[in-house]
């Protein structure tokens, strides 16, 4: 079995191979390694809702690297234009850095702490030399800060807030939009509390098992993720009752842990954002 045969979904695997081919061309000898990440690597991939996550490790990061990576992504997506798999290809997400920064743990490129954990624990090598054994593992505090900062940015986004306050409109967007909105705070909270990667299934089961607020919505979201939304009206009603309380509860607990870790400025920002979810 070759490494990319371990990737769980054939179309997702093909999209990764396409992107990898463009990366080798665009980066012109600079590509050191490539890995499948996310649910394609560790399981739970659902073609209708999941992203296609790829990690590219380059020889060094310079001012042109980001644009080169975006060119890789654009060309890979264009290859699927007009095909039945174009929507999935559009969900190609590329993380990138170099071995030097990954070994020291200093942020560089596009590689948040949670995705570095995914690389170290579950990444499937597609190309190049595997040097993960020399990489620094993000600390619990790294994961807390990344998750809390990302959650704060989402809750400060006017478009995201409008979506949360329009359950009917959200339900009509379908299973992908709904489940991403519902499971986002659950995954972030799981990582903040446990210091582990917040995979959809693990985080949802953990949240529901604790009889947390909005557990029914989280349980339904996992079913919708696998099977689609069969009753949009009922889904909108459940979202209307439980989505904002889910965000308030998760943000409050994240705020508590951030404050306890001594990050007072971020905790104050989360406090202000919590008030906007009333």
Q: What is the pLDDT of residues 151-171, one digit of tens each?
A: 999 999 999 999 999 999 999
Gyration radius from the chain CA atoms:
19
Residue 147 pLDDT exceeds 90: yes
Half-sphere exposure at residue 228, Cβ-oriented, CA atoms within 13 angstroms: 4
pLDDT of residue 107: 82
Per-residue CA distances from 126 to 5, 17, 36, 136, 198 (Å): 9, 8, 7, 21, 24
- Other Cβ atoms less than 10 A from the Cβ of 199: the count is 21
Selection from 81, 80, 102, 107 nearest residue 35 by Cα: 102
Q: What is the pLDDT of residues 262-275, one digit of tens each?
A: 999 999 999 999 99
Query: Is 218 in contact with 198 (CB distance < 8 Å)?
Result: no
Selection from 12, 22, 11 nearest residue 56 by Cα: 22
Backbone angles phi, psi at 92, to 5 degrees: -65, 125
Per-residue CA distances from 89 to 41, 57, 180 (Å): 16, 21, 18
Query: Is 98 in contact with 57 (CB distance < 8 Å)?
Result: yes
pLDDT of residue 159: 97
Name the burial class of residue 133, with classes exposed (0-12), middle (13-18) and buried (19+) by CB atoms within 10 angstroms of its CB.
Answer: exposed
Residue 5 pLDDT exceeds 90: no
Q: What is the CATH number of domain 3-134?
A: 3.30.460.10
Structural domain boundaries in the chain: 3-134, 140-276
Residue 83 pLDDT exceeds 80: yes
pLDDT of residue 131: 97
Strand pairing class (31-37; 52-58): antiparallel
Residue 1 pLDDT exceeds 50: no
pLDDT of residue 210: 87
- Distance in angstroms (rounded) separating the CA atoms of residues 262 and 42: 33
pLDDT of residue 2: 56
Average pLDDT of span 92-110: 95
Average pLDDT of span 43-63: 94
Per-residue CA distances from 72 to 18, 30, 114 (Å): 9, 13, 23
Instruction: Report the length, in residues, of the chain.
Output: 278
Does the CA dihedral 105-110-112-116 come out positive or negative?
negative
Q: What is the pLDDT of residues 171-216, one digit of tens each?
A: 999 999 999 999 999 999 999 999 999 999 999 999 999 888 899 9
Strand pairing class (92-98; 52-58): parallel
pLDDT of residue 120: 96
């Amino acid at each position: 079995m070759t490494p990319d045969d371990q990737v769980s979904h054939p179309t997702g695997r093909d999209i990764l191979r396409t992107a990898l081919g463009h990366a080798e061309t665009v980066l012109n000898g600079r590509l050191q390694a490539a890995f499948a990440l996310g649910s394609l690597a560790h399981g739970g991939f659902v073609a209708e809702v999941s992203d296609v996550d790829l990690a590219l490790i380059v020889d060094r990061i310079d001012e042109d690297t980001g644009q080169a990576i975006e060119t890789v992504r654009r060309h890979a997506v264009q290859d699927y234009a007009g095909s039945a798999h174009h929507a999935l290809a559009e969900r190609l997400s590329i993380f990138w850095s170099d071995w030097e920064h990954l070994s020291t743990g200093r942020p560089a490129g596009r590689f948040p702490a949670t995705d570095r954990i995914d690389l170290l624990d579950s990444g499937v090598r597609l190309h190049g030399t595997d040097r993960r054994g020399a990489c620094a593992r993000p600390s619990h505090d790294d994961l807390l800060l990344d998750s809390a900062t990302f959650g704060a940015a989402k809750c400060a986004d006017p478009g995201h807030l409008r979506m949360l306050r329009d359950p009917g409109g959200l339900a009509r967007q379908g299973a992908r939009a709904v489940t991403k909105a519902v499971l986002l705070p659950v995954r972030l909270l799981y990582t903040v509390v446990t210091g582990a990667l917040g995979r959809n299934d693990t985080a949802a089961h953990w949240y529901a098992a604790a009889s947390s607020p909005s557990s029914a919505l989280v349980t339904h979201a996992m079913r919708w993720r696998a099977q689609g939304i069969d009753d949009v009206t009922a889904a909108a009603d459940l979202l209307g009752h439980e989505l904002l309380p889910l965000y308030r509860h998760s943000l409050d607990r994240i705020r508590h842990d951030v404050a306890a870790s001594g990050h007072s400025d971020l905790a104050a920002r989360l406090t202000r954002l919590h008030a906007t979810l009333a």
